[in-house]
Each structure stands twice: as structure tokens, then as C-alpha cells.
């Protein structure tokens, strides 16, 4: 594996007195796509929250580009170049598509760069361009997911965290979105940590994968190897 | 509540009027009166989740019922109390019916409007002949019955106490029995409650009615104890004081109602002693500090302390009732 | 017909005050889901500060602007120092803190300035050209100032990055943090803005209702009612609600019951409307998925 843009050591995370993650050690390949798989309740969302220091109490180490970031405020972590697309999309439903995207670039100072990025994300997601002035809450599920990803891209992030982007979407749409994610990764070198319940699409896209069960990593390795593993196939791929 | 505590409390309550001065006995009687109000308010706000900023209105109705009856008819003072209670029961229930449609803030406004309207209506020219207009009504201080070795202040104290006890027993039963569980269910999850067959509408209105009734009884007692009612005795600040009382005492707590009553009777006096230039500023400061230190009121603090010592812990109604703000949800609606 | 028009226009003028207070209430409510019961007292205190400046010889408009700035800072400080520590406390505790704040401000104002009413000057001379048969110059000035202020606030929220960030923080604090918005400071700014808006309302109202520590309690109630009438989710609906309430109040006083209980009547009407449309005239009816 290439250099890691993000790594964790001995990461524990709890909600109040309830421990959810135990001694997590994972690494996200720089310029690559890493998948974090697991069933409902395994702790996948918690992992992403812990990385952003949101809503959980954590101990252990999180390093981004070599620097320790655990304990930093979420707003500061964002400024380092980590964009998080949360579960449920997290779109500002009361605001327009354009306002959502503008907020994605909130911390940036380079106006020209932001204008360029508007063009870029509209290029990836032409449907959003059509609905530019529409209120985000009126978009369909798939469009909202696109908007959520597009908003994250407006940060010009080095690392993109995605929480179950396939959730609730029709397979065709999932294919479309994941293809775009692949393109973004290849053309712009944005590293990605992809949390998914849908193991198949995740393993098709990612190069490296981790399997999470009740808060612990139980398996890791190249995505295709994981995909061929007998137990994984039976438990998560259905064959 | 521990039987031992109850017995100790009972003893103290009976002995106090004999060792305190007349004025202090009067103050203690006010505490008893407020304790009844706060019990009523607690039932509504704490257990049923409906916020009322207007209970001063029911207090006024009870008070004026007593005053008018004593002024215009020959009814003995003790008989006016159930009348005040009954009128408020009906008034509260009728108010509660439409109020159902309003939630949270809107209900708060409706009750607030009630409280603001009350002094205005009481001053209204056209009903002056009954209400006594701006000057209000005064009447004679009741004497203790013959052969009883108490002075008037002590007698009135025991009179109120004797009424408070059954009221508290009723309140206690109301909350412990099926009704109580229904009330909490309605507060915590109205949709599920009605899906389970609890007639939400009826319970909400009935609760409002009962809460108003308790407050009306207290208002009647309050009038008897001060022998004076006037429109300006029932400003909006009275309703706010009641709210402060249950916040400080601890919402959804029966002992909390008593704590709160002690607070709202005595702390303004203490504040006055500290600074007579701006006593309310001190009072406000005390309120703020109190809420920082014990946001769940005195009863909440005691609960946390006893939970440390008591292995079983006090769950059930008390635990569910803290009314903490829920954690913000990360997701908007998940569309299929 | 003459009196009717006069009552309506005069009602619109006072309605501007209610609209401002309603706007301030809704701004804070949207961001925090709490009603700022102390909003009226804050406005009252600001007006006293303005009075102090003017009384010491400062020209009106300088005092006005200075008061706006001071009110802004005061709002920010109150949010950071008093409100922030109890952000996550139970609702009743927060309501109590607001009541405490209300009482403190009222008491201190009374202590410093006394309870006798003071007159507060109007910057609009009583013989100005824009006064007329139906409205005094001050009423014209009042409506103009409040409309201009509402417009500026609207433009701020709609077209500036900070305004956008504040709207986002109010709607969805979690997602706002994910784009790097410092939500805590957005709240503080909201309070500052509410303080400023309130101070304008106070300074415009004072020439009419006179300056005393209790001047704003009726206004606050109307502001509260206006906010709910317009729909607590909609700041502009709330502002519109303010104008409606102003007119209603005057008409009720003139034609229905006389000024004695016009407050009651206005409130009854408002509550009546809410019974028909619980989310207010312009609020969004929230559909809750079961």
C-alpha cells in the first residue's frame, strides 16, 4: 500500500458510558479508495464521527498527513482538508442547491478557485446544475446524495469521508454515483474512505478494505481479496 | 418517599407554628398555598409536558371566587374553597379543550395571554360591582373555631395544611397509578400513546382541568389568608414565579413542588435584605446561579445524590421526566 | 372613514415596532429553539443607554448609532457568557435563566434610572413636511426606519456569506460544523443582531410610549404574538405578523372594546387564529413522519 493520508492507532470511541469502537487501527491510502464494511450497528458511522471528533468521546491516535488531529474541533479538522458526507446526507434542506454548494466552500478564500469548482461539480453532476435554484429539500434522494458529495467537493478536500452513499438509492443510481466517485478519485487524486453496508459496490470501487464487527476490525486487505474470501461472501455478499 | 422522612416532615410542620412569630407563620402558610399551586403546575408541565405561563389566572379565579362569595353572600369561608376549585376545574378543562390543538410555544402563548388578560378583565368597568374594580375586595380575617387554642394565624396555617394533605395524596395517586403512566406516555411519545389506545385528547384536557383545580383551591386559600384581592395582585409575574418555582424545585417531582414553594416565598425576602436598591436583580442572579448549579432543580440534585447511595436507583417516572434536550439528529428524512 | 384610516396607519406604525421585536424573537428561536423572554428588557436597557447619551448632549443620530453598536456587543456577550453554559440544560432551566435575566435588567434599569417616566426625543420634528392628516411625522419616520432595517437584515441574510452561514447554523448545526462553520459564534452573532434590532424598536417606540423600566412588557407580548401569528419558522412572516397585530390592536381599541382591554381582545383574536391554523399564517406546517 502507498503512503497513508489518514491512520488511526488504538482508537476507542464511546457514546457516554457505552463503548462502540475498540482499538481501531486503520489506514486510508493516499490518492486511493479504502472501504470500511460491516453490518448495521458495527460502528461504521461512529468511526467517521470519531475521525471528525463529532458526538463521540474518543481516546487513541488519529493522524492526518502525519499530524495528530484527535481532539481538534470538527471545524478545524474541516479546515485541514477533510470533507465528511454524513449518513442521511446532511443537506441543508431549507437552502437552495447553490447555497448548499457555496457553504461547502465556506472556509476557502480563493474566489476564482471556488468559481472553477462550481463548474467542475456541475460537470460531474449535471442534474444539480439544472436544479441550481431549487430548494434542496425538494430534490429526490439520489439528487440529494449527489448534492451532499458535490458540497463536500467544494472544499477541495484531500480526503473525502463517505457514510453509506448508496443508502436508499436504486441500483442504477448507485452505479452512476459510484462511477462518478471513481472518476473524481482518478482525475483529482482525492483520497476516500468509503463506509458501506453494500459490500459489493464498495469492493468494486475500493482498492483496500476493512471489515468491522461490533467495533473491532476483524479483517483487512486488498479489496479483491476480501471480496473473494469465503466467509465474507457468505455473510455480506449473499453467495 | 421514605416513610421516615415523611414522619419527620410531618412533625416539623405541626410544631413550627408554635415556635415562630405571627408573621413567619403567615409566610409558612403562603408556602403551603404555593406548594399546592406548584403541585398542580407540576402535574401539567412536568408529567404531561404542557407548558403553562398562565396559572396566575386560575389562582386569581379561585381567589376572586372566595372574595366575591364572602363579600356578597353569607357562605362560610371554608365552603368557598371547594367552589373555587370546582370553577377552576371546569374553566381549566374548557380551556384545555381547544388548547390541545396548540403545541409547545403556541400553548405557552395562549396561557400567557390568559395571564395577561386576567388583571385587565378584573379591572373592567362593567363588572366592577362584583369585582370591586381596581381597589378590589377586602374582608374580615376568619377566627379560629371556639375552644381551639390557636390564634388566627396558626389556625389559618393548619386550615391550609389540612387541605393540602388530601390534595397531595390525590396528586400522588394520580401520578402513580395508571393515569400517571398514561400522562408520562403522552408527554414522552404522544403518537405512540394514542396508538396504544390512550385517549390523548381527554387526558390532556382533564390534566389541565385538574391542574387548574389545584391552583384554584390554592387561590381561594391565598385569598382567605390575606383577606384581600385586587387585580394587580395577579400580574404576569405571578405566573412566571410559579414557573420558576417548579424549575427550581424540580419538575415532575412532588417534593420538588414543596422546595419550589419555599424558594418563591422566601428568596425574594432574602434578596430584599441583601439589597433594597435592586432586590430583584439579586433574585434574578440567584435564579441564574441556581440553574447553572442544578438545572434539574433541587429535587433533581437530591435524586442524583441518592442514586449514588442507592443501588437500585430511582428510575421510573422521575428518571423519564428530566426533559433533557434530545441530541440533534444527523440525518434529514431518509427517502426511499 | 377618516378615523378608520388613521387607526390603520397608526397601527402600521406601531406594528413596525412589533415586527422588529418579532423578528428578533424568531431569529433567536430559529437558531436555538428558545424564546428569549428577556428581549423586551434588553431593548428597554438599550433605549436607556441612548437616553443617557442624548441627555449628556450627544446629537441624536450619533447616539442612535452608538447604541446600535453597544446593543450588538451586549447581545454577543450575553450569549457567550450567560446562555452558552446552559445550552444543553432542560427547557425549564433555560426558561428560568431567561426570567432571571429579565428580572435583573428590569431591576438594574430601575435602580440606575428610577421608575419615573422620562421622555425620549424623536428625531423626526413634529412639523416636518412628511407628516400629514393621518400620520404624525414620527409615525412616518418610525415605519420608514423599521422598514429600512428589515430590508437591511433581509439583504444581509440573503446575500452575504456570513448571513448564509448563520442561516445554515440555525437550520442544521451538525452539517454546518462539517463545512467548517463555527456554530457557537453564529449563535452569538444572532444574539448580537437581535439586540441591535431590539434597540431600534425601543428607540422608535420610546417617544410614543415613554421611557420607563416597564415600557417593553406589552410590546414584547405583542411581539411574541406576532411571531406566532406569522409563523415561528418564518422571520418575514413574523415581521408581517407584527404589522397585522399593530393594526388589530388599534382597531380593537377603537371599535370593539375601548383601550382598557384592547390587549385582551387582540390576544383573543390571535389565539383564535392559531386555533384555526396552528402553525401560524405563514409558517410551514411540519409534517411529521410517523
Can you point out the beta strands (E) in chain B? 137-138, 228-229
- Angle ∠(C213,C214,C219) on CA atoms, nearest 5: 125
Within an 8 Å CB–CB cutoff, is residue A98 touching chain C?
A: no
Q: Which of B269, B212, B206 is nearest to B242 (CA)?
A: B212
Q: Based on the number of CB atoms within 10 Å of its own CB, is B246 exposed (0-12), middle (13-18) or buried (19 or more)?
A: buried
Q: Do A86 and B331 count as a contact with CB atoms less than 8 A apart?
A: yes
Which DSSP symbol is given to C282? S
Chains that touch B (3 or more CB pairs under 8 A): A, C
Sign of CA dihedral A182, A185, A186, A188: positive
> Taking every pair of C-alpha atoms in chain B, what is the biggest distance, in angstroms?
79
Within an 8 Å CB–CB cutoff, is residue C165 touching chain A?
A: yes
> Burial letters for C258-272: b for 16+ Cβ neighbours within 10 Å, e otherwise?
eeebbbbbbbbbbbe
Chain C CB contacts of A90 under 8 Å are 172, 174-175, 178
Within an 8 Å CB–CB cutoff, is residue C287 touching chain B?
A: no
Predicted local confidence at residue B325, as pLDDT? 42
Give the gap in angstroms from C-alpha A170 to the nearest C-alpha of chain B: 9
What is the Cα–Cα distance from C191 to B81, expressed in whole angstroms? Answer: 47
Residues B225-255: tens digit of each pLDDT: 998 999 888 888 888 889 889 889 888 778 8
Query: Contact C256/C247 with Cβ under 8 angstroms?
Result: no
What would the DSSP string read from start to end of C81-150? IIIGGGTTS-HHHHHHHHHHHHHHHHHHHHHHH-SS-B----SS-TT-TT--SSS-HHHHHHHHHHHHHH
How close are the terminal C-alpha atoms of chain B, in Å?
A: 50
What is the Cα–Cα distance from C226 to C224, expressed in whole angstroms? Answer: 5
Predicted local confidence at residue C255, as pLDDT? 75
> Which run of H or E residues covers position C194?
helix C183-209
- Of all residues in chain C, what percent carry a pLDDT higher than 70? 96
186-225 in chain C: CB under 8 A from chain B: 217, 221, 224-225
Within an 8 Å CB–CB cutoff, is residue A74 touching chain C?
A: yes
Q: Which of A197, A201, A190, A228 is nearest to A211 (CA)?
A: A197
Q: Do B332 and A87 count as a contact with CB atoms less than 8 A apart?
A: no
Helix axes B22-42, B55-72, angle to 10 degrees: 130
Query: Contact A176/A165 with Cβ under 8 angstroms?
Result: no
Categorize the per-residue pLDDT at C225 as very low, low, confident or very high, splitting at 50, 70 and 90: confident
Chain A CB contacts of C170 under 8 Å are none
Residue C223 has pLDDT above 50, yes or no: yes
From residue B250, give the alpha-carbon distance in Å to each of B31, B38, B51, B258, C36. 16, 10, 14, 10, 22
Residues B269-314: tens digit of each pLDDT: 888 888 777 888 888 888 899 889 888 888 888 888 877 776 554 4
Query: % helix / strand / coil in chain C, to the nearest 5?
Result: 75, 0, 25
Predicted local confidence at residue A95, as pLDDT? 93
Chain C CB contacts of B292 under 8 Å are 85-86
Is the ipTM above a cut-off of 0.95?
no
Give the gap in angstroms from C-alpha C87 to the nearest C-alpha of chain A: 15
Predicted local confidence at residue B186, as pLDDT? 64
Q: Do B277 and C111 count as a contact with CB atoms less than 8 A apart?
A: yes
Categorize the per-residue pLDDT at B118 as very low, low, confident or very high, splitting at 50, 70 and 90: confident
- Of all residues in chain C, what percent carry a pLDDT higher than 90? 40
What is the Cα–Cα distance from C22 to C18, expressed in whole angstroms? Answer: 6
Q: Do C179 and A103 count as a contact with CB atoms less than 8 A apart?
A: yes
Categorize the per-residue pLDDT at C131 as very low, low, confident or very high, splitting at 50, 70 and 90: confident
Predicted local confidence at residue A236, as pLDDT? 75
Residue of C nearest to A51 (CA): C178
From residue C43, give the alpha-carbon distance in Å to each of A217, B162, B270, B271, C194. 57, 47, 29, 25, 9
Predicted local confidence at residue C258, as pLDDT? 66
Q: CB count, 10 Å around CB of B5?
A: 10
Across C229-250, average pLDDT: 87
Q: Do B287 and C97 count as a contact with CB atoms less than 8 A apart?
A: yes
Within an 8 Å CB–CB cutoff, is residue C228 touching chain B?
A: yes
Helix axes C235-251, C216-230, angle to 10 degrees: 120
Residue B199 has pLDDT above 70, yes or no: no
Q: Which of A171, A195, A92 is nearest to A139 (CA)?
A: A92
Q: Do B331 and A93 count as a contact with CB atoms less than 8 A apart?
A: no
From residue A40, give the alpha-carbon distance in Å to each of A53, A88, C52. 21, 14, 64
State CA C286 to chain mean position distance: 25
Query: Contact C263/C256 with Cβ under 8 angstroms?
Result: no
Q: Do C108 and B328 count as a contact with CB atoms less than 8 A apart?
A: no
In this complex, the residue of B327, B332, B336 whose CB is nearest that of residue A88 is B332
Q: Do B288 and C92 count as a contact with CB atoms less than 8 A apart?
A: no
Predicted local confidence at residue B30, as pLDDT? 93
Q: Do C182 and A78 count as a contact with CB atoms less than 8 A apart?
A: no
Chain C CB contacts of A163 under 8 Å are none
Residue of C nearest to B115 (CA): C264
Tens of each residue's pLDDT in chain A, 239 residues: 568 999 999 999 999 889 999 999 999 999 999 999 988 888 999 999 999 999 889 899 999 998 999 889 999 999 999 999 998 899 999 899 999 999 999 999 999 999 999 999 999 999 999 999 999 999 998 999 999 999 999 999 999 999 999 998 999 999 999 999 999 999 999 999 999 988 899 999 999 999 999 999 999 999 999 888 888 887 777 66
Residues B7-66: tens digit of each pLDDT: 888 888 888 888 888 888 899 999 999 999 999 998 887 666 777 888 999 999 999 999
What is the Cα–Cα distance from B294 to B233, expressed in whole angstroms? Answer: 30
Which DSSP symbol is given to B143? P
pTM of the model: 0.83
Q: Domain limits of chain B?
A: 20-235
Residue B108 has pLDDT above 70, yes or no: yes
Q: Domain limits of chain A?
A: 1-81+161-167+191-239
In this complex, the residue of B247, B277, B280 whose CB is nearest that of residue C96 is B247
In this complex, the residue of C35, C111, C270 whose CB is nearest that of residue B278 is C111
Residues B127-185: tens digit of each pLDDT: 787 778 788 888 888 888 888 888 888 888 889 999 999 998 888 877 766 556 666 66
State CA B94 to chain mean position distance: 19
What would the DSSP string read from start to end of B189-256? -HHHHHHTT--HHHHHHHHHHHHHHHHHHHHHHHHHHHTEE-GGGS-HHHHHHHHHHHHHH-TT-HHH
- Which of C93, C111, C176, C252 is the mutation pick for testing B, counting most B CBs within 10 A? C93
For residues C200 and C269, the model is more confident at C200
Within an 8 Å CB–CB cutoff, is residue C38 touching chain B?
A: no
Within an 8 Å CB–CB cutoff, is residue B334 touching chain A?
A: yes
| Cell numbers representing residue B323 in the block | 426533559
Predicted local confidence at residue B48, as pLDDT? 67
> Which run of H or E residues covers position A211?
strand A208-213
Name B307's Cβ contacts closer than 8 Å, sequence gap at least 6. Answer: B313, B314
Within an 8 Å CB–CB cutoff, is residue C161 touching chain A?
A: yes
Across C248-276, average pLDDT: 76
What is the Cα–Cα distance from A68 to A217, expressed in whole angstroms? Answer: 21
Query: A135 — alpha (psi -120 to 50), left (phi > 0) or beta?
Result: beta
- Angle ∠(C70,C74,C75) on CA atoms, nearest 5: 120
Chains that touch A (3 or more CB pairs under 8 A): B, C
| Cell numbers representing residue C237 in the block | 412572516
Q: Do B120 and C263 count as a contact with CB atoms less than 8 A apart?
A: yes
Residue B321 has pLDDT above 50, yes or no: no
Predicted local confidence at residue B1, as pLDDT? 55
Categorize the per-residue pLDDT at B112 as very low, low, confident or very high, splitting at 50, 70 and 90: confident
Residues C8-36: tens digit of each pLDDT: 988 899 899 999 999 999 888 888 878 88
How close are the terminal C-alpha atoms of chain A, in Å?
A: 28
**Strand-strand pairing, B137-138 and A216-222:** unpaired
Q: Do B334 and A88 count as a contact with CB atoms less than 8 A apart?
A: yes
How close are the terminal C-alpha atoms of chain C, in Å?
A: 52
In this complex, the residue of A93, A95, A106 whose CB is nearest that of residue C180 is A106
Residue B336 has pLDDT above 50, yes or no: no
Categorize the per-residue pLDDT at C286 as very low, low, confident or very high, splitting at 50, 70 and 90: very low
| Cell numbers representing residue C243 in the block | 404589522
For residue A213, the SS3 value is strand
Give the gap in angstroms from C-alpha C93 to the nearest C-alpha of chain B: 5
Considering the four listed CATH numbers 3.40.50.300, 3.40.50.2300, 1.10.10.10, 3.40.50.150, the one that applies to the domain covering A1-81+161-167+191-239 is 3.40.50.300
Q: Compute the mean pLDDT over every residue in chain C, rounded to the nearest whole number.
A: 86
Residue B193 has pLDDT above 70, yes or no: no
Residues C33-82: tens digit of each pLDDT: 788 888 999 999 999 999 999 999 999 999 999 999 999 999 999 999 99
Residue of B nearest to A143 (CA): B335
Within an 8 Å CB–CB cutoff, is residue A103 touching chain C?
A: yes
Q: Do A78 and C174 count as a contact with CB atoms less than 8 A apart?
A: no
Chain A CB contacts of C172 under 8 Å are 90, 92-93
Cβ-Cβ pairs closer than 8 A, B with C, add up to: 142
| Cell numbers representing residue B305 in the block | 445524590
Amino acid at each position: 500500500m502507498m503512503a497513508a493520508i489518514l491512520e488511526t492507532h488504538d482508537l476507542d470511541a464511546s457514546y457516554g458510558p457505552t463503548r462502540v469502537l475498540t482499538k481501531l487501527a486503520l489506514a486510508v491510502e493516499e490518492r486511493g479508495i479504502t472501504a470500511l464494511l460491516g453490518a448495521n450497528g458495527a460502528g461504521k458511522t461512529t468511526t467517521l464521527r470519531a475521525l471528525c471528533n463529532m458526538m463521540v468521546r474518543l481516546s487513541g491516535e488519529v493522524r492526518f498527513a502525519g499530524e495528530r488531529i484527535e481532539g481538534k474541533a470538527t471545524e478545524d479538522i474541516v479546515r485541514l482538508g477533510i470533507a465528511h458526507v454524513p449518513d442521511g446526507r446532511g443537506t441543508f434542506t431549507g437552502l437552495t442547491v447553490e447555497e448548499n454548494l457555496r457553504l461547502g466552500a465556506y472556509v476557502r478564500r480563493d474566489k476564482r478557485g471556488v468559481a472553477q469548482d462550481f463548474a467542475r461539480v456541475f460537470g460531474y453532476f449535471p442534474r444539480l446544475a439544472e436544479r441550481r435554484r431549487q430548494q434542496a429539500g425538494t430534490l429526490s434522494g439520489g439528487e440529494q446524495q449527489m448534492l451532499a458529495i458535490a458540497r463536500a467537493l467544494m472544499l477541495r478536500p484531500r480526503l473525502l469521508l463517505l457514510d453509506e452513499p448508496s443508502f436508499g438509492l436504486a441500483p442504477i443510481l448507485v452505479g452512476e454515483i459510484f462511477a462518478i466517485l471513481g472518476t473524481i478519485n482518478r482525475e483529482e487524486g482525492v483520497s476516500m474512505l468509503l463506509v458501506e453496508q453494500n459490500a459489493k459496490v464498495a469492493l468494486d470501487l475500493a482498492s483496500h478494505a476493512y471489515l468491522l464487527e461490533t467495533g473491532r476490525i476483524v479483517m483487512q486487505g486488498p479489496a479483491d481479496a476480501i471480496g473473494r474470501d469465503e466467509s465474507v461472501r457468505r455473510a455480506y455478499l449473499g453467495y | 418517599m421514605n416513610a421516615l422522612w415523611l414522619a419527620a416532615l410531618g412533625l416539623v410542620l405541626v410544631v413550627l407554628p408554635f415556635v415562630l412569630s405571627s408573621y413567619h407563620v403567615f409566610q409558612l402558610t403562603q408556602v403551603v398555598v404555593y406548594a399546592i399551586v406548584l403541585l398542580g403546575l407540576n402535574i401539567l408541565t412536568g408529567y404531561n409536558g404542557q407548558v403553562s405561563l398562565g396559572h396566575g389566572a386560575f389562582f386569581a379565579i379561585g381567589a376572586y371566587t372566595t372574595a366575591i362569595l364572602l363579600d356578597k353572600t353569607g357562605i362560610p369561608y371554608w365552603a368557598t374553597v371547594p367552589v373555587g376549585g370546582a370553577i377552576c376545574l371546569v374553566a381549566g378543562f374548557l380551556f384545555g379543550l381547544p388548547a390541545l390543538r396548540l403545541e409547545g410555544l403556541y400553548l405557552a402563548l395562549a396561557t400567557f395571554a390568559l395571564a395577561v388578560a386576567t388583571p385587565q378583565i378584573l379591572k373592567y368597568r362593567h363588572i366592577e360591582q362584583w369585582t370591586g374594580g381596581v381597589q378590589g375586595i377586602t374582608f374580615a380575617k376568619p377566627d379560629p373555631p371556639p375552644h381551639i387554642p390557636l390564634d388566627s394565624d396558626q389556625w389559618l396555617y393548619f386550615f391550609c395544611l389540612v387541605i393540602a394533605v388530601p390534595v397531595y395524596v390525590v396528586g400522588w395517586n394520580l401520578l402513580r397509578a395508571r393515569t400517571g403512566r398514561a400522562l408520562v406516555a403522552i408527554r414522552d411519545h404522544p403518537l405512540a400513546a394514542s396508538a396504544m389506545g390512550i385517549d390523548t385528547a381527554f387526558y390532556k384536557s382533564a390534566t389541565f382541568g385538574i391542574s387548574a383545580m389545584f391552583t384554584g383551591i390554592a387561590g381561594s386559600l391565598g385569598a382567605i389568608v390575606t383577606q384581600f384581592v385586587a387585580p394587580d395582585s395577579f400580574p404576569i409575574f405571578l405566573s412566571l414565579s410559579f414557573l420558576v418555582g417548579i424549575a427550581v424545585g424540580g419538575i415532575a417531582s412532588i417534593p420538588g413542588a414543596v422546595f419550589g414553594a419555599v424558594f418563591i416565598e422566601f428568596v425574594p425576602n432574602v434578596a430584599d435584605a441583601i439589597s433594597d436598591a435592586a432586590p430583584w436583580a439579586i433574585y434574578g442572579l440567584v435564579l441564574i446561579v441556581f440553574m447553572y448549579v442544578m438545572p434539574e432543580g433541587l429535587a433533581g440534585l437530591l435524586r442524583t445524590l441518592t442514586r449514588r447511595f442507592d443501588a437500585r436507583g430511582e428510575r421510573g417516572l422521575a428518571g423519564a421526566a428530566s426533559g433533557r434536550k434530545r441530541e440533534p439528529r444527523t440525518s434529514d428524512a431518509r427517502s426511499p | 372613514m377618516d378615523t378608520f384610516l388613521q387607526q390603520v396607519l397608526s397601527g402600521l406604525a406601531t406594528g413596525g415596532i412589533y415586527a422588529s421585536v418579532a423578528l428578533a424573537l424568531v431569529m433567536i428561536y430559529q437558531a436555538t429553539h428558545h424564546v428569549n423572554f428577556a428581549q423586551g428588557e434588553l431593548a428597554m436597557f438599550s433605549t436607556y443607554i441612548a437616553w443617557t447619551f442624548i441627555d449628556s448632549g450627544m446629537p441624536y443620530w450619533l447616539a442612535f448609532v452608538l447604541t446600535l453598536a453597544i446593543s450588538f456587543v451586549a447581545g454577543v456577550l450575553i450569549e457567550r457568557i450567560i446562555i452558552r453554559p446552559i445550552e444543553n440544560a432542560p427547557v425549564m432551566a433555560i426558561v428560568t435563566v431567561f426570567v432571571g435575566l429579565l428580572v435583573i435588567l428590569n431591576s438594574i434599569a430601575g435602580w440606575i434610572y428610577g421608575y419615573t417616566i422620562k421622555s425620549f426625543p424623536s428625531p423626526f420634528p413634529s412639523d416636518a413636511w412628511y407628516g400629514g392628516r393621518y400620520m404624525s411625522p414620527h409615525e412616518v419616520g418610525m415605519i420608514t426606519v423599521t422598514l429600512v432595517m428589515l430590508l437591511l437584515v433581509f439583504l444581509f441574510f440573503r446575500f452575504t456569506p456570513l448571513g448564509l452561514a448563520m442561516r445554515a447554523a440555525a437550520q442544521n448545526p451538525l452539517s454546518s460544523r462539517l463545512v467548517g462553520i463555527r456554530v457557537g459564534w453564529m449563535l452569538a452573532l444572532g444574539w448580537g443582531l437581535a439586540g441591535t434590532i431590539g434597540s431600534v424598536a425601543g428607540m422608535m417606540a420610546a417617544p410614543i410610549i415613554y421611557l420607563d423600566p416597564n415600557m417593553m412588557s406589552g410590546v414584547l407580548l405583542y411581539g411574541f404574538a406576532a411571531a406566532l401569528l406569522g409563523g415561528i419558522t418564518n422571520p418575514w412572516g413574523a415581521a408581517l405578523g407584527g404589522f397585522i397585530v399593530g393594526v388589530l390592536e388599534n382597531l380593537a381599541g377603537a371599535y370593539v372594546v375601548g383601550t382598557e382591554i384592547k390587549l385582551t381582545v387582540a390576544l383573543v383574536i390571535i389565539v383564535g387564529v392559531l386555533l384555526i391554523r396552528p402553525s401560524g399564517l405563514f409558517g410551514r406546517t411540519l409534517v411529521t413522519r410517523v
